[in-house]
Structure 1
Amino acid sequence: MAGISSPGIGSNLDINSIITKLMQAEASAPSLALTRKEASYQAKLSAFGNLSSALGAFQTALSSLNTQSTFQSVNATPSDASIFTATATAKATAGSYNVNITQLAQAQTIASAGQASTTATIGGGSTTTLTFQFGTVTGGKLQNGQYVNDPTATPPDPAFTQDPNKTSGTVTIDSTNNSLQGIRDAINKANLGVTATIVSDGSATPHHLVIKSNETGATSNMKISVAGSETALSDLLAYDPAGTQNMTQSAAGQSAVLTVNGIAVTSQSNIINGAIEGVTLTAAKVGSSSLSIARNTSAVQSSVTAFVKAYNDVNSTIKKLTAYNEDRTLSGPLIGDSSVRNIEAQLRKMMSSPLTGSSGSLTTLSQAGISIDQKGVMSLDATKLSTAMSKNMDDVTALFSSIGKTTDSLVSYVSSTSATSPGTNEVVVSQLATQGKLIGSLVIGGSTAINAGNKDMTVTVNGVTSSVSLVEGTYTPAQLAAQLQSAINGISAFSSKGIAVSATIDASGKLSLTSNTFGSTSKVSLSGNAASVLVGASPAATDGVDVAGTIGGIAAGGSGQFLTGAAGSTAAGLKLQITGGATGSRGTVNFSQGYAFHLTNLLDEFVNSKDGMISGRTKSLQDGITNVSKEREKLDARLTEIEARYRKQFTALDVMISKLNSTSSYLTQQLEQISNLSQS
């Protein structure tokens, strides 16, 4: 059992207090030095954090100037926005356009005969298939909601032509859903591009099944085929504009009709693309309005203003962190720091040096109205910038952003990487990209019957395989191609991956299936019962190939229609799209990098790079703080040893004084006894 110690009992000295004061004296100077050192490190670390934040904000401001879309932004302004609104992309050509809308697009709506109940069963419940197809109705005339013959029309008889670009689909009706409500819900659940509702008119048989196409346009008219033995369902729902019409049309599917500068335009929807290149019109009502297309210079002005402010914030932060106040004899935490001086010097040098290899006529920031005074403060002359933009926006774009210009209209610049060097490179195409194709080996006759025995097939497109079924019926060659294309493109296994085909009948009468993509992964194959009817026993399959060629005389990588400069070359990472033309020399591509690009890369080295100036100094300061912690641990250990020594020494002193006190007491007692004896 450890002994119980109470320092000072023997000597009556306050030993604990004495040792505490001695230890405070021992720890005061070295502890204070370590605290000051740690505080200095922390202050510098916080200062570098502030500088890094300012540089990061500067880099963010540069991002919009390093993007071509900022300079390509276009404003589209109609004189009467109640007639139509408009948006524009960089492809739009500045100018004024006259737009006259004479007809709005609308969706087709058809309705069934009235029913007494929405829940009563219709028919006996045997399985019946409803097939929805979409297309155009031509000829004849519309009378009381029905298409009928019209001797004055061309053609006199109404005809329905399926749109191959719209997918067909089926709905199964059986004993579980053969009521008006059940049919409505089954159609909506099938997600076929139509919406079914029940509308009641208040008559003795008030309930009508109303089906409306989800899309507008003349090619969105419906044809509903009913397959099965349930005549009650067929009598209610069968609808063929060119044949039996057991439903009544209340609104025909029609396209928007308009003129642009006197040129007639038709659009399937009220959102009109392509009538004016790069412009999307959204029609709201019939009427005329002018449209003004102009470059959005305010977006560039705003981005350049943000660039100037962000740079001045960096300059202000550096001055604050490196300042010295003579009156208060205070200095900033980074005064004299070589890394900060280096960052400041590199930024100023880059912005004061002219660009090399620029594809535009502007090579200095001052030409766009940006200047830096002797104190490092940047300013913008908005008038000078506006003048530069009005003269040639492409030159202003090249001054700030990475930009590629090609001399061939069918060769377009797509993107670049940090490895791409500025300069002009020749583009040579040795092989154009092609699409995978399948051409039948038989000539399709004037009429082809598709039935249960030959409607099913297995289709593989671009490596994806799925089962596909055609709608039963009798088809002309063009109708058969439209039905096949619609059936394949309506399969989610294909559409979810952006895969589609186009089906046509070539000049020899053979069916041709072509993948929608280019390159070596583009392939088409067909097998199953329907194959013999559609493409015969030995169709010719041709796989797609990738584009091939050189950029700057060095073989480039090809993928689909995209040609990319080889690693290690001056065109490394330069991506071009070849959309057509011939093999051989295809002109040149000039690539240049503007100030925003170079500054962004420089700031990456400062802020984001592991070996950058700020990250290097930050690591050094953090290491210093760690070392202070280690030194503090050593100091604590040494102080513990010193305190133990003091306690040992004072304990010995206490024991000695205690013994002296005992001896003194003993002698005093003896002398008192001698004195008492002498007196007696």
Structure 2
Amino acid sequence: MAGGVTSLGLGSGIDVRSIVDGLVAAERQPQEFQLTKQESDIQSKLSSYGIFKSALSDFRSSLAGLRDSGKFEALQAKTSQSDVISASVSSNAETGHFNLESKQLAQAQSLVSAGFADANATVGTGTLTIKFGATDYDPDTDAYNGFNQNPEKGTLTLTLDGSNNTLTGMRDAINEANAGVNASIVYDGSAYRLVLASEKTGAANSMQITVDDPSLSQFEFNETATSMEQTQVAQDSILSINGLDVTSATNTFNDTLKGISLDLAQAQPGETISLDISHSTEGVVDSLQGFVDSFNELASSVKDLTSYDPQTQSGSALLGDATLRSGMSQIRSVLGSLVSGLEGTSIRTLVDLGITTQADGTLKFDSGKLTEALKSDPDGVAAVFTQIGRPSNDNVAFFSNTGDTQTGNYAVNVTQAATQALLSGATNSVNSLTVTAGVNDTFKINVDGSLSSAITLSAGVYANANELAAEIQAQINGNETLRNQGAKVTVSYDGANNRMMIASQTFGSGSQVEITESNASDLGLAVAAGVDGTDVAGTIGGIAAEGDGQYLTATNGLKLFVDGGVSGDLGSVNFSRGLMEKLDSVLGGLLDSDGSLTAKTEGLQKSLDQINDERLDLNDKIAKYEERLLSRFNAMDAMLGQIQSTGSFLSQQLASLPYNNISKK
């Protein structure tokens, strides 16, 4: 009630409050009704948009399984006893049935020293060298018949002096070297023993241990002395495939059957285990069924949100809504479109994979048609859904692409093959097979920009140049400085030219090999720089591409991996983006923070805020209107009170006149 209006019918007796309240209510009602209706309509639309967004979001989630190209590897590998032999498969495998037998598991060699009274007992000083390779050793007769060094493994050369010449110090120094040996100290109940175990399983990863000082002789294990006890022999795993025995340094067989990886968990000689490689379609079928079901749920939601009831002559909140209608139109357009880049192929649309649109707008899925397509052309099916590059040449692999990569068929031509750096020793430079300590045993080498520390070859007379090459490679790859940088080489002996050949194991312009210091030139290790490696060079789609090692990248972002040493015309790469990326883009345009639905709901929220402002304005307006009414009715009431008072006074005066008295007589 407005301030200052205190009389409500007190003068006249009229119910001014009821009259004012009625007039105020009559003034407020149409405007309040209009605001309430607008608010209700907006709230209904916001709720409906929320339902639409939720259905769209669920549908968008169903795309994930169809955007992963790995889903379309349409093969599966199963063994009859997976707890003994398990199998995994890649897309290049071939179907078939095999009989397997797990005969032997791979294991690492373990050597144990003689006992020491204390874990901190002094063990001597000098140099201890551990090499890895195949050992011919008979534990029953303790006959050490020979050792063939593994050039792929580095050599550990450990100096023991006053800082580490205890059993514990020796253990720690070996472990800190991180050179492929695990050292531990075991107390057997009466003495402390040093246990050395190769980190790698396999017959070619056993240890040969030599020392240069008699004080360390208790740790020798070589042709001269077997002071260490072999408690576990290094051995390969043995697997029989259809009666043929094959071996592996580990319990995994990756290259035995094309595209198949087999893992041995137990050895069960004499027991046959079946392996079946067959087409697998369940994952893709399930993903596509989920996609269809999710779309149909979306379509059902849209139908409810845009329905019209002729009996009540009322429609749903989003009946005729342009944003919803446009969004669904875009989605249906993508679902019915041809995939660009697949011209000339038999699979280009969802219809080709068994998905058709029914009369009510929902999708129908024929899983049998998809299954047949997966069996005949799994890559073609993948191309309908996801980004994929399909090279026609086995020497080329699709690696990646960017948003700028256009669909199409790109010819690949390599004008320069990627190469590794190669240092070719001078012809007839291998003049000795004898390494003498301090005379011709040391050199430094730069590999791929990393300079080694001084490398020392093991002294001795090598049986042949190939054995010497294996020692050189092992020492280079075992160098801690190079190992920490991931720099590795391959060393071979060129018998035709009597020289050592040192090649970096990396490709590209960053591949380098250079001997910077050496006292071993008579071993073929003279100071010299090799020929640096080269990056692959060529064109993709007729346009020059940038090479980086073995990777060739086009200006449009298409990136390919090309096998080293290969050049010339290498076929083509067919690149397609598939429907899922395009569909995700459409859904993103609706759902993302800057999407049309977000803009729509934000606009509606602003309208709600405006209604709240209008309601506040209405309250102010009605309050002022009420104040005016009360003021006027109060004035009227006061006037009526005065009139009534005057009337009463006049009546009294008239009643007291003489005329009235005479007439009464």
Alignment of 1:631-670 (within 5 A): 632-633=612-613, 636-637=616-617, 639-640=619-620, 643=623, 647=627
8 A contact 1:322–1:335 mirrored in 2:
yes
State the alpha-carbon separation in 2 of the partners of residues 45 and 524 from structure 1. 69
Residue by residue, what CA displacement relative to the aligned partner does 1:130-175 show, whole Å, maximum 9, x if unpaired?
Answer: 443322224xx41447333xxxxxxxx42341x2322344566566
The aligned counterpart of 1:316 is 300
State the alpha-carbon separation in 1 of the partners of residues 621 and 147 from structure 2. 107
The aligned counterpart of 2:118 is 118
State the alpha-carbon separation in 1 of the partners of residues 625 and 385 from structure 2. 72
The aligned counterpart of 2:56 is 55
Alignment of 1:277-676 (within 5 A): 277-283=258-264, 284-285=266-267, 286-287=269-270, 288-326=272-310, 331-355=315-339, 357-358=341-342, 360-440=345-425, 443-444=429-430, 445-449=432-436, 451=438, 455=442, 457=444, 459-461=446-448, 463=449, 465=450, 467-471=452-456, 473-474=458-459, 476=462, 478=466, 481-490=469-478, 499-507=487-495, 508-528=497-517, 538-567=527-556, 573-580=557-564, 582-608=566-592, 610=594, 615-630=595-610, 632-633=612-613, 636-637=616-617, 639-640=619-620, 643=623, 647=627
- Per-residue deviation, 1:440: 4.4
The aligned counterpart of 1:153 is none
8 A contact 1:271–1:280 mirrored in 2:
yes
- Per-residue deviation, 1:619: 0.7
Give SS of 1:274's match: strand
8 A contact 2:536–2:549 mirrored in 1:
yes
Residue from 207, 227, 230 that aligns with 1:246: 227
Residue by residue, what CA displacement relative to the aligned partner does 1:323-382 show, whole Å, maximum 9, x if unpaired?
Answer: 234456553332111232233333334434555652632344344332221012222223
State the alpha-carbon separation in 2 of the partners of residues 364 and 660 from structure 1. 89
8 A contact 1:19–1:643 mirrored in 2:
no
Alignment of 1:31-70 (within 5 A): 31-70=32-71
8 A contact 1:440–1:534 mirrored in 2:
no
State the alpha-carbon separation in 2 of the partners of residues 298 and 19 from structure 1. 76
8 A contact 1:456–1:467 mirrored in 2:
no
Q: Does 1:142 align with 2:152?
A: no
Give SS of 2:204's match: helix
Residue identity in the other structure for 1:134: F
- Per-residue deviation, 1:216: 0.9
State the alpha-carbon separation in 2 of the partners of residues 439 and 661 from structure 1. 127
Give SS of 1:309's match: helix
The aligned counterpart of 1:154 is none
State the alpha-carbon separation in 2 of the partners of residues 241 and 483 from structure 1. 16
8 A contact 1:406–1:590 mirrored in 2:
yes
State the alpha-carbon separation in 2 of the partners of residues 452 and 640 from structure 1. 106
Percent of aligned positions that are identical: 32
Residue by residue, what CA displacement relative to the aligned partner does 1:608-666 show, whole Å, maximum 9, x if unpaired?
Answer: 494xxxx2243133134224424533553564366357548857986998899899999
Residue identity in the other structure for 2:353: A
- Per-residue deviation, 1:553: 2.1
Q: Does 1:193 align with 2:180?
A: yes
Summarize the Cα distance change of 1:27–1:581 in structure 2 as closer, same or farther, 3 Å threshold: farther
8 A contact 2:500–2:525 mirrored in 1:
no
8 A contact 1:146–1:249 mirrored in 2:
no
Give SS of 1:158's match: strand
8 A contact 1:451–1:472 mirrored in 2:
no
Summarize the Cα distance change of 1:409–1:8 in structure 2 as closer, same or farther, 3 Å threshold: same
**Structure 2 residue ranges without an equivalent (≥5):** 656-665
Residue from 246, 260, 274 that aligns with 1:265: 246
Give SS of 1:542's match: coil
Q: Answer with 533-542 or 384-393: which moved more.
A: 533-542
Residue identity in the other structure for 1:255: D
8 A contact 1:47–1:333 mirrored in 2:
yes
Residue identity in the other structure for 1:473: S
8 A contact 1:458–1:467 mirrored in 2:
yes
8 A contact 1:360–1:396 mirrored in 2:
no
Residue by residue, what CA displacement relative to the aligned partner does 1:445-495 show, whole Å, maximum 9, x if unpaired?
Answer: 31234559974746352x4x3543435522645455445544554567765
- Per-residue deviation, 1:274: 0.6
State the alpha-carbon separation in 2 of the partners of residues 22 and 129 from structure 1. 111
The aligned counterpart of 2:217 is 235
Summarize the Cα distance change of 1:653–1:396 in structure 2 as closer, same or farther, 3 Å threshold: closer
Residue by residue, what CA displacement relative to the aligned partner does 1:533-567 show, whole Å, maximum 9, x if unpaired?
Answer: 88766523323222222223222333322223333
State the alpha-carbon separation in 2 of the partners of residues 387 and 617 from structure 1. 39
Q: TM-score, normalised by structure 2?
A: 0.81
Residue from 145, 148, 153 that aligns with 1:166: 153
Give SS of 1:275's match: strand
8 A contact 1:41–1:621 mirrored in 2:
no
- Per-residue deviation, 1:391: 4.0
- Per-residue deviation, 1:42: 4.1
State the alpha-carbon separation in 2 of the partners of residues 84 and 104 from structure 1. 11
State the alpha-carbon separation in 1 of the partners of residues 297 and 485 from structure 2. 47
State the alpha-carbon separation in 1 of the partners of residues 568 and 340 from structure 2. 30
Residue identity in the other structure for 1:210: V
The aligned counterpart of 1:151 is none
Residue by residue, what CA displacement relative to the aligned partner does 1:16-57 show, whole Å, maximum 9, x if unpaired?
Answer: 999888777665544553444344334434433433333333
8 A contact 1:48–1:618 mirrored in 2:
no
Summarize the Cα distance change of 1:540–1:582 in structure 2 as closer, same or farther, 3 Å threshold: same
State the alpha-carbon separation in 2 of the partners of residues 32 and 213 from structure 1. 86
- Per-residue deviation, 1:317: 2.0
- Per-residue deviation, 1:605: 4.1
State the alpha-carbon separation in 2 of the partners of residues 450 and 640 from structure 1. 104
8 A contact 2:151–2:474 mirrored in 1:
yes
The aligned counterpart of 1:678 is none
The aligned counterpart of 1:152 is none
- Per-residue deviation, 1:217: 0.4
The aligned counterpart of 1:255 is 236
Summarize the Cα distance change of 1:392–1:621 in structure 2 as closer, same or farther, 3 Å threshold: closer
Residue identity in the other structure for 2:545: A
State the alpha-carbon separation in 1 of the partners of residues 453 and 159 from structure 2. 17
Give SS of 2:574's match: strand
Give SS of 1:640's match: helix
- Per-residue deviation, 1:313: 1.9
Give SS of 2:257's match: coil
State the alpha-carbon separation in 1 of the partners of residues 441 and 82 from structure 2. 54
Residue identity in the other structure for 1:55: L
- Per-residue deviation, 1:513: 3.5
Residue identity in the other structure for 1:504: S
Q: Does 1:133 align with 2:117?
A: no
Residue identity in the other structure for 2:601: L
